Amino acid sequence: MNSYKLTYKSFGNRAILIEWPAKIDEKTLKNVILFKNKILKKNTKVILEVITGYNSLTITYKFTIKNIYSEFSVLKSIYLSDFSKIEKKNYRWKIPVCYDKKFGIDLQEISQKNKLEIDAIIHLHSSQIYTVFFIGFTPGFLYLGGLDKRLFFDRKSTPRLDIKKGAVGIGGMQTGIYPSQSSGGWNIIGNSPISFFNPKSEEPCFAKSGDQIQFYKIDCEEYSQIKSLVESGFYKLEREIL
């Protein structure tokens, strides 16, 4: 496993921020996730939470850190230790999306500015396999890397105040899904009928950093059928081990 030159910073009196070189790619992400798993394996008694970013980890402790440099040394030692015994399973999740015009409210604008037919946009978006880099800005929002360059599209200068739950959007070089009704500036191209965040579940968000997402196109009738199954608790997502 390649080692990176990391920086360690105090992040308040109970947290440490670890940063990788400012590059967004899957090799960096894999290194971030492996380090996170190692930290959790070694320090579960003192760690409250470890939050994954594109190229960072934020570690929150259960207590005030008395000697920050001593804790840096502990973390550096953990990072350089053997990673081979703690690899965890990742999954590829198959996510249904309806790209009908009633959901894909920005498809026409993307089509005009990127000089692509709407069918081509849908094909390009649904034929890629995406990597979950991290989960933010609202619980269950998956930031996905791997968008075809032909679909890159700047976020809106003025965010919408009301985006529907399940909206699938493009923001710059990424794609993602709004897990709940919210405001946002991404360009909406479709909607998924599944639930991306359930606070009552043991694992509120089914996906995690390092997982993959594969969208597939459904029509409005299939959308309604799946949504009914989701709401009644009878829908099960397809997945396969990577």
Which tokens in the block code for residue 14? 């109970």
Average pLDDT over residues 64-77: 93
Range(s) for CATH 2.40.100.10 in the chain?
91-241
CA 205 to chain centre: 10
Q: Which CATH architecture has domain 91-241?
A: Beta Barrel (2.40)
Give the tens place of pLDDT for each residue, 192-241.
999 998 887 877 889 998 899 999 999 999 999 999 999 998 999 999 99
Tell me the pTM.
0.81
Which of the four pLDDT bands, split at 50, 70 and 90, describes residue 83?
Answer: low
Which of the four pLDDT bands, split at 50, 70 and 90, describes residue 125?
Answer: very high
In CATH terms, is domain 7-80 a member of 3.30.1180.20? Answer: no
Q: In angstroms, rounded to a whole number, what is the distance separating the alpha carbons of residues 14 and 65?
A: 6
Tell me what the pLDDT averaged over the chain comes to.
91
Which residues pair with residue 156 across a beta bridge?
A: none
In the chain the first and final C-alpha atoms are separated, in Å, by 18
Q: In angstroms, rounded to a whole number, what is the distance separating the alpha carbons of residues 181 and 167?
A: 9
Range(s) for CATH 3.30.1360.40 in the chain?
7-80
Alpha helices in 25-180 (DSSP H): 26-43, 68-80, 107-114, 118-127
Which of the four pLDDT bands, split at 50, 70 and 90, describes residue 87?
Answer: low
Closest by Cα among 111, 219, 125 to 176: 125
φ, ψ dihedrals at 157, nearest 5° = -65, -30
pLDDT at 86 over 60: no
Which of the four pLDDT bands, split at 50, 70 and 90, describes residue 54?
Answer: confident
Helix (H, G, I), strand (E, B) or coil at 48: strand
pLDDT at site 136: 79
Q: Which residues contact 123 (CB under 8 A, 6 or more apart)?
A: none
